[in-house]
Structure 1
Amino acid sequence: MEHIEIIPYSPELSPFFKSINQAWVEELFSIEPFDRAQLEAPEETIIKPGGTIIYAKLGDEIVGTVGLHKISDGEFELVKMGVSPSVQGKGIGMALAKAILDKAKELGGKKVVLYTHSKLGPALRIYEKLGFKEAEMEAGKYCRCDIKMKVEI
């Protein structure tokens, strides 16, 4: 298997953040206002408030991405993890998740939360392997999400 390279955000890669995530969200759910804001303006909604976005590159192709949104000092939210369908099942999601947790630590994070849906089985398995545990969900946080998870890092 080819080597998975994790690369940092750059404005030139922003279209991949949108295209990879928009594809899975539209296939399984529908785009909500918060999705639109993050996908259309990741620099303003994720990067500038203190978060980051990383990408997975396989060969010459960007095949995955994930964001880290800063909630407060020491707490981040993992957002928009997506992998191109043609390379799913090759460990790219796990590589992205591990790398974004490392990035959260670098940025002073102590806790990472995420919101997901019970029908996203492969993603749930990745999160559980990395130590995420279910947490109490806030009412009305995100329409499509039925699970909140967190991990201390």
Structure 2
Amino acid sequence: MTVAIVPFRPDHAAMWRSFNEAWLIAGGYALEAKDQLVLGDPQGSILDRGGFIFIAERDGAPVGCCSLMAMADGGYEVGKMAVVEDARGLNLGWRLLDACEAAARAAGAPRLYLETNQAQTHAIALYRRFGFLDLPPQPTPYARCDVWMEKRL
């Protein structure tokens, strides 16, 4: 078995949408306007705006994803991380975050930022192990968001 983290390609678009819709729906969350934008147009809403999308592949098949969205302060927002159930336990979340951090550092970003929901306990534990710290509430387009975190670079 080979596992690799690769940059987003246009043929990943359907998988990008379906993986993220799956975790949102499974979590009982509504697909909000920002979700629709980044899932429906990853090229225009993330990549063309200076962001990145990374795909985890197992034996060449996509099994996970994560994005970095450029922020006005020069930092990057980590978003839309998903790993399919049968690929969990392979350390893909860490590897995706590692790819995000490397890209952000290479771009000279001062920080990584993320928003999530307190029900995402496994993800929050991963973020804390990776060095993210809690922030006070921030403005957000997401009704589901009640946890804000950052990692200074």
| TM-score, normalised via structure 1 length | 0.94
Query: For each residue in 1:64-108, what CA deviation from the matched residue of structure 2 results, as whole angstroms up to 9, or x when unmatched?
Result: 000000012521100100001111122111111111111111122
Write the distance in 2 (CA, Å) between the matches of 1:139 and 1:66: 22
Residue matched to 2:8: 9
Secondary structure of 1:62's counterpart equals strand
Residue matched to 1:19: 18
Q: CA deviation at 1:147?
A: 0.2
The structure-2 alpha-carbon separation of the partners of 1:146 and 1:15, relative to structure 1 and needing over 3 Å to count, comes to: same
Residue matched to 1:98: 98
Matches within 5 A, 1:102-117: 102-117=102-117
Q: CA deviation at 1:148?
A: 0.3
Residue 84 in structure 1 maps to residue 84 in structure 2: yes
Please provide the CA RMSD for this pair: 1.3
Contact 2:78 2:113 in 1 (8 A): yes
Matches within 5 A, 1:108-127: 108-127=108-127
Residue matched to 1:53: 53
Residue 75 in structure 1 maps to residue 72 in structure 2: no
Please identify, of 6-15 and 136-145, the stretch whose mean Cα deviation from structure 2 is larger: 136-145
Write the distance in 1 (CA, Å) between the matches of 2:48 and 2:152: 24
Residue matched to 2:130: 130
| TM-score, normalised via structure 2 length | 0.94
Q: CA deviation at 1:3?
A: 3.3
Q: CA deviation at 1:55?
A: 0.4
Contact 1:7 1:57 in 2 (8 A): yes
Secondary structure of 1:67's counterpart equals strand
Q: CA deviation at 1:140?
A: 4.8
Unmatched tracts of structure 2, length 5 or more: none
Matched pairs, number: 152
Residue 148 in structure 1 maps to residue 125 in structure 2: no
